[in-house]
Structure 1
Amino acid sequence: MDRIYLDNAATTPLAEEVIDAMVQVLKVNFGNPSSTHSFGQEAKILIETVRREVADYLKVTPAEIVFTSCGTESNNMIIKSCVNHLAVERIITSPMEHKCVAETVMDMKKRRGLEVVYLRPDSNGDISLDDLVQQLKSSDKKTLVSLMHANNEIGNLLDLKKTAQICKEHGALFHSDTVQTMAHMEIDFSDIPVDFASCSAHKFHGPKGSGFAFIRKSSGLKGIITGGPQERSLRAGTENVCGIVGLGRALELSLKNMQAYTEHIKSIKEYTIQKLTQIIPGIRFNGRSAEESSLYTVLSVLLPFKDPMIGLKLDMKGIAISQGSACSSGAAKPSMVMMMLLDDEDMQRTTPLRISFSHLTTKEDIDALAEALKEISQPFIIENADGTYR
């Protein structure tokens, strides 16, 4: 049975060129990058070369890039250090953030007693920037705003520049979880005054266990992992050289092919919407549909019937897909994002699915998904006398 992978927002398959680059490092460049001899310095050069590549992509200085294990670590470091070292007393965020942000914010609330303000999304999953302005005006406490660039379940894009400008105008720090958008679109932090951002290499065909944090040098942020001077003393510990090289190679490939990849994936997303609309009466799509305001790699589907086992059924047909974010998909209850968007009736009568694409996704993959969903849905969808369905 051929297997089809449609869960690229959770992780992407490694590019062959990335594997080759990492294997070369494992074989040849095994030195500790903190060592002063040639073995160590060769490894150090590899790290610094990637750091410059990342900085060039974001149009920042290399000193503002700190390599980490993933976006989760980056987000934890930024939020905890803002509270512990930058005297942040208040965090404005959204209930639709990734768990690594949501749970870290709650941890800081419990441990340090800071105030947490949630900006409630509308029925499309959009955050009101007018609400953000009002909340920033309502308090003199030092504030961190933490809002993700693209929602990992429904794909809604935040206007990053406008949000950053609002925060700057009101003296607030701004952190954005940019894990889903790094290497998928042009991002210019010389123009966007964001203070902190995060990245995971495995979201763009790089290795798991490798990521970075962007930390604006003027912010004064300090590290939370101590014990050595590595990563500008912001993240102690011997660097993952082969993982960093893999991240760099994956970024290089993504940037080189960004236009071609983007055009292909957008066409696949559009084809998926058309195909599923044709075969499943009553299907809906969560979040925004407009190309310019929705992440092209993610499509959130709401099936017009309740089937908690649909992920397993599709997997048995060789199709990998998500019923929420990867960090929530094992839970019995719906994700917080779906709870924010759906009313009680929808929660009882519909089934959400997240389809996420890469440049490797084909129309044949979508045809197979459509046929599988058509077969699965037939026992649930009944035609009414007036031609509607229930």
Structure 2
Amino acid sequence: MDKLIYLDNAATTRTAPEVVEAMLPYFTENYGNPSSVYGFAAANKDVITRQREIIGDAIGAKGNEIYFTAGGSESDNWALKATAEACESKGKHIITTKIEHHAILHTCEYLEKRGYEVTYLDVDENGIVKLDELKKAIRPDTILISVMYANNEIGSIQPIREIGEIAHEHGILFHTDAVQAFCQIPIDVNACHIDMLSASGHKLNGPKGIGFLYIRTGVKIRSFVHGGAQERKRRAGTENVPGIVGLGKAVERAVSSLEERTGKERELRDYLIRRIENEIPYCRLNGDREKRLPNNVNFSFQFVEGESLLIMLDMKGICASSGSACTSGSLDPSHVLLAIGLPHEIAHGSLRMTLGEETTKEDLDYVVDSLKGIVENLRGMSPLYEDFIKKQNN
């Protein structure tokens, strides 16, 4: 393939060369187990501590509040399951939303089968939680509120500070899945009263297979993996030192470039949105226009089937998606798009494009020019579109 334009950075990102470079010595030279007592291996404990501090600084947390995991899904599972177990004597009610990542939704289903009650909040047409509905959902036995910081499909950013204040006022633990938001928008766990936060390395030009769960000091949740004393006895298993170093380097790199990088992404994002809205009829921007991740563009194209759209874009060297990579094998329309009120037939025609630091304006011009032709061709094969045009002309 001569051309490759990668617009699926919400699924994963290219690991930055300096991240790979930072990791390599911990595969081949500094390979000791940090739990060993001799100096060669024990030195890696100090390395891990330093990465905790780098990551903690990025969200206003202390280094000892950062617990390393295998990624966002594990962190989400840990936050929900361990909180449910630890707080069972207080209550068995959890509040979340209908647009969460499946790492949250499927964990909630797991807990429901074990006697817990879950309230799934509706969102408005832009995918934003209604704070009044959240307040109404709180009960005396509510033990946890879990609301994602920003949606992975439509990019809408939630009123996290307000949600945290509501949880704090009621003495309820507050967890947020920040996998898409971390290092894309500023986060302060103290200002937002966040008790637990999940994040993953491969969304910010770091390696796959590494993430973390922030757990505020004083939050009493159970250990997630039992065995050794790693992660202060809360998550057993030999530490993934190369991955941890790579995550730390990726965070350091992302924080230092945050303002400039996201400013560029916003400019390109808005340019892409304008061109599509001005040049392709019968399309809908999904998600909030203002409270939106800097790199997220999500459209639904009426009278177009999303899978065909993706295949034809791929033939032109354009990588995009119709939603979360974790549900790409499903034939069902996105649960997020249904939750914001789209009918099935329009939700099926969705396209998510997520920009990265290497995306250029020229790339986006090529994408829009290609997209215009593809949508026109697909609509030309649609009996529904033909009927629609006939009615419009009558």
TM-score tier, shorter chain, comes to: over 0.9
- For residue 66 of structure 1, give the secondary structure of its aligned residue in structure 2: strand
1 CA distance for matches of 2:206 and 2:144?
30
Q: Say which SS state the counterpart of residue 325 (structure 2) adopts.
A: coil
In structure 2, C-alpha distance between the alignment counterparts of 1:349 and 1:15, rounded to whole Å: 34
Query: SS at 1:80's partner residue?
Result: helix
Work out the CA distance in 1 between the residues paired with 2:137 and 2:169: 13
Cα–Cα, structure 1 residues 51 and 123, in superposed 2: closer, same or farther, change >3 Å? same
- Confirm or deny: 8 A CA contact 2:87 2:143 kept in the other structure: no
The equivalent residue for 1:119 is: 121
Greater Cα shift, 190-199 or 379-388: 379-388
Contact 1:282 1:389 in 2 (8 A): no
1:296 matched to 2:297? The reply is: no
In structure 2, C-alpha distance between the alignment counterparts of 1:329 and 1:126, rounded to whole Å: 24
Cross-structure match for 1:61: 62
Report the 3-state secondary structure (helix = DSSP H, G, I; strand = E; otherwise coil) of the residue aligned with 1:219.
coil
Q: Tell me, in whole angstroms, the C-alpha distance in 2 between the residues paired with 1:135 and 1:255.
A: 36
Partner of 2:133: 131
Residue 339 of structure 1 pairs with residue 372 of structure 2: no
Superimposed CA distance per residue, residues 24-74 of structure 1 (whole angstroms, 9 cap, x where no aligned partner): 221211000101111211211111110011112222222211000101000
The one-letter amino acid paired with 1:100 is A
In the TM superposition, what is the alpha-carbon distance from 1:269 to its structure 2 partner? 0.1
Q: Return the offset for 1:387.
A: 12
Aligned residue pairs total 384
Aligned to 1:213: 213
Any unmatched runs of 5+ in structure 1? none
The partner residue of 1:92 within 84, 89, 95 is: 95
Residue 101 of structure 1 pairs with residue 104 of structure 2: yes
Superposed, 1:74-93 pairs within 5 Å as: 74-87=75-88, 88-93=91-96
- Alignment CA distance shift 1:236-1:279 (3 Å): same
Question: Is structure 2 residue 15 aligned with structure 1 residue 10?
Answer: no
* Separation in 1, partners of 2:46, 2:67: 15
State the Cα distance separating 1:188 from its structure 2 match. 1.3
Q: Does 1:251 align with 2:254?
A: no
- SS, match of residue 203 in structure 2: helix
Task: For residue 188 of structure 2, give the secondary structure of its aligned residue in structure 1.
Answer: coil
Provide the secondary structure at the position in 1 that maps to 2:322.
coil
Offset, 1:211? 0.5
Query: What is the CA–CA distance in structure 2 between the aligned matches of 1:84 and 1:299, rounded to whole Å?
Result: 38
Pairs within 5 Å for 1:1-390: 1-87=2-88, 88-111=91-114, 113-136=115-138, 139-290=139-290, 293-307=291-305, 308-344=307-343, 347=345, 351-379=349-377, 380=379
Q: Assess if the C-alpha contact under 8 Å between 2:3 and 2:317 holds in 1.
A: yes
- After TM superposition, give the deviation of residue 279 of structure 1 in Å: 2.3
Q: How far off is 1:348 after superposition? A: 5.3
CA distance in 1, matches of 2:390, 2:116: 56
Offset from partner CA, 1:108-128 (integer Å, 9 cap, x none):
1102x1111111112222210
Equivalent AA in structure 1 for residue 172 of structure 2? A
For the residue of structure 2 that corresponds to 1:378, the secondary structure is helix
Deviations 1:215-269 (CA, angstroms, capped at 9, x unpaired)? 0121111212000110011100001000000001111110111111011100110
Decide whether aligned partners of structure 1 residues 54 and 313 sit closer, same or farther in structure 2, where only a CA change above 3 A counts.
same
RMSD: 1.9
Contact 2:6/2:320, CA 8 A, preserved across alignment: yes
* 1:92 match: secondary structure: strand
Distance in structure 2 (CA, Å) of the matches to 1:332 and 1:174:
33
SS at match of 1:12: coil
Q: How much does 1:288 deviate?
A: 0.7
| Distance change in 2, residues 1:348/1:285 (3 Å) | closer
- Percent pairwise identity: 38
Letter in 1 for 2:169: E
SS in structure 1 at match of 2:164: helix
TM-score, structure 1 normalization: 0.94
- 1:314/1:65 Cα in 2 relative to 1: closer, same or farther (>3 Å)? same
Residue 309 of structure 1 deviates from its aligned partner by 1.5
Instruction: Give 2:10's aligned amino acid.
Output: A
In structure 2, runs of 5+ residues without a counterpart are: none
The one-letter code sitting in structure 2 at the alignment partner of 1:370 is: V
- Is the Cα contact below 8 Å between 1:80 and 1:108 reproduced in 2? yes
